[in-house]
Structure 1
């Protein structure tokens, strides 16, 4: 994609009043016409429910990975309006699950995978969050079987080459439409003094300050963004080589 075409795409995104934290992947995918050029590079592979392993993402492959996750969630009976706890390992999985759940009209509830499992369980129950997603990393760290008995628990520890059932394709009107006041994510306080407190993030509110970066943060062809603490910027500037090194367990594998 030429630099002029990328600038046109950024201008289109900049002038889109509906662009926000809850739909930026799909807006960027449409503005750039998909795209097979990898721009997110991972330190360790991500494996999705199809069994495919990704070492890097283009807009097109990212879109497909998120679509597969959304289909997996639908197969588990997760529908719009559900608040879903994400208790996942380090790296990019939380970001991808955030995108997939948001695309279905659900609210992802990010929980630090290094927060003690009993505290994570108490936090979920105190706030009425009854769906809990974990993976191989958090299960190995905390041995969750004896801790999460009172929640609906799903294992997102997918294995390379081993596809899991995805059921029917995602809903026809996918992704869902997001409005400015909609809550798109719930995070939490540090938990150093007890059970963490929930913190809400809105579609428009969480995007404040990002729009101006579309035209004021123009990368050069040789630039790399490493480590990435802000994948939203990388996606909206989808020509940049974003060397993703998300080693921090939390708090910022998200926009």
Structure 2
């Protein structure tokens, strides 16, 4: 008999909207793993490992609650909450009735959340107590926003009667199943739509591959309302793996969970790795970790090196399979629109392939370096990153202007600047809005400069580089976060100039030491360089 993973890989009907039900239909053990949450779920205590059967029953209760309130096919329902359980269980229930959950990060500013919800034109809203109060400040009506009723708190859905749940909605491959959002580095986030098949396309490929080391027991430190968490829920249910979902991505909470829960794999964004790298990991019980998996922005070399020096991994020797000190770190580049990491490269303590290398595309994807007209550029030439994959979002919800703005000559434009070497490895240079990098003229890359500074100055825990225009030229500011024992008064100018190269060094106006909380970030922890540029431009003009 074929394994469950093989059955799922061959099943044309399985997708993001029905993974839980399909896994059960294919005969998965109801006493096997479901999901584990860091807060209580109905009658179950926090960190109770829900079995597959318990998870299904809790989702059915929520399905019945929604159905009784008229929520069904094509209804768009916004979910604004903090707890992982509130978001994930509501998502699973809404897809069962054919609705389209729109997930909002709990850290979003109320005014931006209100405008984002208005643009979505939702049919209804679910909000936890804290966020319902915030919404009240954005509306003249206590129980609605922009004409959409606030149905209740996500926890209330658990009071539904599972026995009254309607039949599972039958998804077509192109049915919309979830709306997530971008980081919002430039203002109101873009609403990213995914269908039943786009978010499952990469997982179909992975199900045909051997299951990776460290993926049997996963700590999910990814932002819960992000596309990446929806992918992970689908992945662990198909792999019949265990997963604890954290409501907070703060490094201190992640470290505590690693020590307490002993995961084999930890999944997160670059901001979490930067936070973990600030700690002396030798003082923590992290030896259970075999794999760190990064998505979103690629990670910095010094942060990766500190993580792979910790934990353990299995390797094959003449004496057979043994466990050795040091872990794996899988890096790459991904986004909500890409639907899954598009690239991958694996680091160990022995790795030397850095310099913002994001590796090669997955087998299910294609990539190219493009000029402004969509022509492919040869190795060594920097350009726009074009990406093609069955996992790519079909577009932005209610926003055809941006949907087509980011398409060029059959490619999705990720908003990144990259180059490719002769061996097919891709290297990330910067985000397009943050760089000064036309196909002619100066080549000033902020992310690459940050990478080089971090690699050259060990006492720098993190840094931010911004470039602003100045009377037809450019000025660069370098903001350094130093280790506690580093001297903030030390002149590091020469070392930084040497690290970033002559072209960037010639533009440096200011090198400043800052605190960890002095840089504005988005709800997912990305630096809001647009805000920093505006502040610096005000300084230039004054």
Q: Same fold (TM over 0.5)?
A: yes
Is 1:98 aligned to residue 98 of structure 2? Answer: no
Distance 1:63 1:143, change over 3 A: same
Give yes or no for contact 1:84–1:133 (8 Å, CA) kept in 2. yes
2:16 aligned with 1:14: no
Aligned-residue offset at 1:123: 1.2
Aligned equivalents of 2:181, 2:210: Cα separation in 1? 29
5+ residue gaps, structure 1: none
Quick one: which of 226, 231, 237 aligns to 1:235?
237
Separation in 2 of the partners of 1:183 and 1:220? 32
With 206-215 and 18-27 compared, the bigger mean Cα shift is at: 206-215
CA distance in 2, matches of 1:170, 1:134: 22
Higher strand share: 2
Does 1:31 pair with 2:26? yes
| Bigger mean CA deviation after superposition, 29-38 or 67-76 | 29-38
In the TM superposition, what whole-angstrom CA distance separates every residue of 1:180-228 from its partner, at most 9, and x where no partner exists? 1111111122223222221110111111110122242436799422236
Distance 2:172 2:113 in 1: 29
TM-score by length of 2: 0.40
Listed one character per residue, the Cα deviations across residues 122-174 of structure 1 (whole Å, up to 9, x for unaligned) are 111123114111013534xx533232433310222537xx9746598122xx1
Q: For 1:193 and 1:10, how far apart are their aligned partners in 2?
A: 40
Query: What residue number does 1:144 align with?
Result: 135
Q: 1:128 to 1:221 in 2, by over 3 A?
A: closer
Residue 82 of structure 1 aligns with which residue? Answer: 75
- Other-structure match for 1:156: 153
Q: Distance in 2 between matches of 1:114 and 1:192?
A: 13
Q: Is contact 1:117–1:147 with CA below 8 Å preserved after alignment?
A: yes
Counterpart residue number, 1:71: 64
Larger RCO: Structure 1 or Structure 2 (Cα < 8 Å, ≥ 6 residues apart)? 1
Change (3 A) 1:165 1:45: closer
1:213 aligned onto 2:206: yes
In 2, Cα distance between equivalents of 1:145 and 1:131: 15
Q: Distance in 2 between matches of 1:24 and 1:227?
A: 18
Label 1:136 to 1:80 Cα distance change in 2 as closer, same or farther (>3 A): same
Superposition RMSD on alpha carbons, in Å?
3.1
5 Å-filtered alignment, 1:116-195, equals 116-139=109-132, 143-148=134-139, 149=141, 150=145, 151-158=148-155, 164=159, 166=161, 169-171=164-166, 174-195=167-188
Is this contact kept in 2: 1:124–1:130, CA < 8 A?
no
**Structure 2 residue ranges without an equivalent (≥5):** 222-228, 251-267, 270-294, 296-338, 341-542
Distance 1:32 1:247, change over 3 A: farther
> How far is 1:43 from its partner?
2.3
Distance 1:168 1:243 in 2: 27
Q: CA deviation at 1:246?
A: 4.3
Rounded to whole Å, the distance in 2 between the matches of 1:120 and 1:98 is: 18
Give 1:108 shift: 0.5
Say which is worse superposed, 177-186 or 75-84, in terms of deviation: 75-84
CA contact (8 A) 2:112 2:188 kept: yes
- For 2:155, what is the secondary structure of its paired residue? coil
- What is the CA distance between 1:30 and its match in structure 2? 1.3
TM-score normalised by length of structure 1: 0.80
Query: Structure 2 vs 1, CA of residues 128 and 232 (structure 1 numbering), >3 Å: closer, same or farther?
Result: same
The answer to whether the 8 A contact 2:114-2:135 is kept is no
Deviates more, 1:38-47 or 1:196-205: 38-47
May I ask how many residue pairs the two structures share in their alignment? 238
Deviations 1:77-126 (A, max 9, x none): 21222100011113232111111111101001111111112211111112
Q: 2:38 aligns with which of 17, 38, 43?
A: 43
